[in-house]
Amino acid sequence: MIEVKSEAEIALMREPTAIVRDCLSFVGEKIGAGMTTKDVDRLVYDFIKASGAEPSCLGYCGYPASACISVNEVVVHGIPDDRVIEEGDIVSVDLCAYKNGFHGDGARTFRIGTVSPEKDKLVRVTEECFFQGIEGLKAGTPLYDIGYRVQKHAESNGFSVIRAYTGHGIGREMHEDPAVPNVGRRGTGVRLEAGTVICIEPMIAAGTFRVKVLPDGWTAVTLDGKPAAHYENTVVIREDGVEILTL
């Protein structure tokens, strides 16, 4: 069941979503070649805790870190470890914060130094896919219009859309209904109501959309080893558009 949020509940979500926004900006300023993904996770943990919130990911279904940090071919759920970030990498950082009884969620893919033209375009197009996905989105829009627009933009640029993972509703739980696929047939799906809060998160790959999960049970990588990028925001459906809480 899709839970529509009251204005009072949305007001309570503003703080955790602002912490996510500010933490992602902070990570973007600090991340660089020579750091390990575990170093980046420490930045996330310290920032969220210093903001008076809790890192939602830490301990979620046994997940051992405060952020998912995914380098190059890792699509999502990369567990921070001793992997050294190198010049030319792209690094996706996906994090959530919990405060006031509610969660906020967002992700960005960062370019480390000078990256290849393919990676540069991939990161740019992935971000564009989010904004294409919310184009015209408002109360009454069919859910799968989002995925239709994401898929159209990604594929028109020569990329593929990861199908194994989706966006989601968010609120008192980190993952709520509905699932928000990044592919879809226009004009289909439940019509979204004003006050619905969802995470829209295009995950776009340079090669195949197929993925495999590594033996750790979390880390999802592209089947062909080509890079992938990720961009996510928490948004509120309004009568006349959307409000992006993590920007």
Does 99 reside within a domain? yes
Does 2 reside within a domain? no
Residues 6+ apart with CB under 8 A from 1: 177
Q: Which domain holds residue 163?
A: 7-244
Alpha helix segments (H runs only) across the chain: 7-30, 37-50, 117-133, 144-156
One-character DSSP codes across 175-214: SEEEEE-S---TT-SPBPPTTBEEEE--EEESS-S-EEE-
Does 157 reside within a domain? yes
The span from the CA of 149 to the CA of 158, in Å, is 15
The span from the CA of 43 to the CA of 35, in Å, is 11
Written as tens digits, the pLDDT of the chain (247 aa) is: 999 999 999 999 999 999 999 999 999 999 999 999 999 999 999 999 999 999 999 999 999 999 999 999 999 999 999 999 999 999 999 999 999 999 999 999 999 999 999 999 999 999 999 999 999 999 999 999 999 999 999 999 999 999 999 999 999 999 999 999 999 999 999 999 999 999 999 999 999 999 999 999 999 999 999 999 999 999 999 999 999 999 9
Say if residues 179 and 191 touch (Cβ distance below 8 Å): no
The predicted pLDDT at position 71 comes to 98
Does 27 reside within a domain? yes
Four-residue CA torsion sign, 43, 49, 53, 57 = positive
The predicted pLDDT at position 17 comes to 98
* Closest of 62, 79, 61 to residue 70, by C-alpha: 79
Does 1 reside within a domain? no
What's the CA dihedral at 231, 234, 238, 243 to 10 degrees? Answer: -80
CATH number at residue 74: 3.90.230.10
The span from the CA of 4 to the CA of 124, in Å, is 32
List strands edge to edge, sheet with 197-200: 176-180, 167-169, 197-200, 233-238, 241-244
The predicted pLDDT at position 194 comes to 98
Q: What is the pLDDT of residues 158-202, one digit of tens each?
A: 999 999 999 999 999 999 999 999 999 999 999 999 999 999 999
* Closest of 87, 78, 95, 73 to residue 37, by C-alpha: 78
The predicted pLDDT at position 58 comes to 98
Does 108 reside within a domain? yes
Does 209 reside within a domain? yes
Does 218 reside within a domain? yes
Query: For residue 178, is the peptide bond before it cis, meaning its omega torsion is within 30 degrees of 0?
Result: yes
Overall domain count for the chain: 1
